[in-house]
Amino acid sequence: MVLTAELRKAGRNAGEARRSVTVLGSTGSIGCSTLDLIERERERFDLVALVANRNVGALIEQARRLHPQFAVIGDATLYPDLKAGLEGTGIEAGAGRDAVIEAALRPADWVMAGIVGAAGLAPTLAAVRRGAAVALANKECLVSAGAIFLTEVAKSGATLLPVDSEHNAIFQVLEADRLHAVDRIILTASGGPFRTWTREEMAGATREQAVAHPRWSMGAKISVDSATLMNKGLELIEAHYLFPVGEERLEIVIHPESIVHSMVAYMDGSVLAQLGMPDMRTPISYTLAWPHRMVTPAPRLDFAEIGKLSFEAPDPERFPALRLAREALRAGGAAPTILNAANEIAVAAFLAGHIGFLDIAATVEKVTSGLAARTAGPASLDDIYEIDRLARIQAEEVVHLVAR
């Protein structure tokens, strides 16, 4: 199709329209990458609110540099520091859970849901309920409360824009109005730092080895999840809610180079893939500019330099987290919430040196199998919080026994 000058101008103007933005979790890696993109085209974005949990120094620096209307620190005890740090700027300061939710409720067109853990559920749901475009980087929203979130999305007309590189890749190549033509959705996984290790070798893995991801620069918790492949298991559950083709049509393949971020195979034999260098600014930019694209500083692919791309099947014996996640998805109800909560406790225990690397999946399996069968499925966020609380208590008990 040849675009006329008028069409080119219309497309350019639509892509450059100003967009109001709120960033929940602005001082984390996703939040910082989001702000990096916004600063590069500052004239296109109005910052409504920035929200952080405890890193008040970084929040003050961001707010003074970018001048949002509202800056919020989740830890209410840090409000005096935030207030003092913003003195003379005209930026409104807030603190505590209610202020975080208020930030999500303010009328921004686009909200980055980058608050990790259960703390991100309520503010993300608040943004969904007012019909915002929500860039979803919080796994718990779909893993722990997928049915609840999708019900609210349908009611409000909100738009969920996946930020995870794998889900974002699927989003870019999936013909959403022709799901019947999808043969398989294939999530790729790097395999983490222990891809070639034996179970015996992994039994002695250290914290430093587990967080040393070969391709991505991430926080400690998500790096350990990548090492166990639980991260991919959680993404499988997310994909089930984002792309409703049925659990049996969701596959995982190991791709060590992390260049192909995911693929969609169609009934005619075609396979469409999204490729790019490992840089989270690429998927974030796709949601930030959606339905258009924007320039990013991400490195460009050089296929001749890369030389080859390799793929292999995951080993369920060495990496049982994939099996546990699929079993939780099939069980439904409270099982995914329990899986996620138990995993957080087990990973924290490993990072603290209380349990071994292989104990992470073993702890998750024991808690999930024991608690899910006798726990009713959640019908509200309060139910999610209670199931999450009970799972964490039981996981702590299991960890304590293992650590003895």
Structural tokens at position 193: 């730092």
Residue 109 located in a structural domain: yes
Q: Are residues 46 and 81 in the same domain?
A: yes
DSSP strand pairing (271-275 vs 260-266): antiparallel
Amino acid at 79: Y
Claim to verify: residue 44 and residue 103 sit in the same structural domain: yes
> Which of 162, 182, 208 is the endpoint of a domain?
162
- On whether both 49 and 153 belong to a single domain, the answer is yes
Q: Which pair of tokens denotes residue 127?
A: 């943004």
Residues 6+ apart with CB under 8 A from 363: 342, 345, 346, 349, 355, 395, 398, 399, 402
Task: Report how far Cα 41 is from the mean position of its chain's Cα atoms.
Answer: 24
* pTM higher than the cut 0.85: yes
Residues 124 and 197 in one domain: no
Question: Which segments of 239-360 are extended strands (E)?
Answer: 250-254, 260-266, 271-275
The residue type of 359 is: D
Q: What's the pLDDT score for residue 16? A: 62
Measured distance CA(144)–CA(336) in Å, rounded: 6
Task: Please tell me whether residues 129 and 200 are part of one structural domain.
Answer: no
Please check whether residue 365 lies inside any domain of the structure: no
Domain presence at residue 296: yes
The C-alpha atoms of residue 250 and residue 258 are separated, in whole angstroms, by 19
Q: Are residues 24 and 142 in the same domain?
A: yes
CATH, residue 78: 3.40.50.720
Q: Enter the tokens of residue 402.
A: 């293992």
- Distance between start and end Cα atoms, the chain: 68
- Answer yes or no: do 190 and 257 share one domain: yes
Which of 198, 194, 231 is CA-nearest to residue 209?
Answer: 194
pLDDT of 4 > 60? The answer is no
344 in a domain, yes or no?
Answer: no
The predicted pLDDT at position 13 comes to 47
State the pLDDT at residue 404. 63
Q: Which residue, of 162, 184, 211, is where some domain finishes?
A: 162
Cα(114)–Cα(403) distance, integer angstroms: 32
In a domain, 394, yes or no: no
Residue 386 clears pLDDT 60, i.e. is over it? yes
| DSSP secondary structure letter of residue 42 | G
At which of 144, 162, 180 does a domain end? 162
pLDDT for the residue numbered 374: 82
DSSP strand pairing (70-73 vs 45-52): parallel
Tens digit of each residue's pLDDT (9 = 90 or more) over 242-266:
999 999 999 999 999 999 999 999 9
Whether residue 216 is predicted with pLDDT greater than 80 in this model: the reply is no
Q: Are residues 95 and 169 in the same domain?
A: no
Q: What is the pLDDT of residue 214?
A: 73
Query: Is position 28 within any domain?
Result: yes
**Do 223 and 78 fall within a single domain?**
no
The answer on 84 and 203 residing in a single domain is no
Least confident of 155-159, 174-178, 217-221: 217-221
Task: Check: CB of residue 108 under 8 Å from CB of residue 49.
Answer: yes
Looking at the structure, do residues 312 and 171 belong to the same domain, yes or no? yes
User: How many structural domains comprise the chain?
Assistant: 2
Give the pLDDT band of residue 118 (cuts 50, 70, 90).
confident
Q: Considering the chain, what is the average pLDDT of its residues?
A: 92
Residue 240 lies in a domain: yes
Q: Which residues pair with 46 in a beta bridge?
A: 20
Decide if pLDDT at 15 tops 70: no
- The pair of structure tokens assigned to 11 is 């497309």
pLDDT tens digit sequence for 34-85: 999 999 999 999 999 999 999 999 999 999 999 999 999 999 999 999 999 9
Give residue 5's pLDDT band: very low, low, confident or very high (50, 70, 90): very low
Range of the structural domain that residue 201 is part of: 164-278+291-319
Are residues 149 and 25 both part of a single domain? yes
Which residues sit opposite 12 in a β-bridge? none
CB of 88 closer than 8 Å to CB of 69: no
347 is a domain residue: no
- Whether the pLDDT of residue 288 is over 70: the answer is yes
Label residue 221 by pLDDT band (50, 70, 90): confident
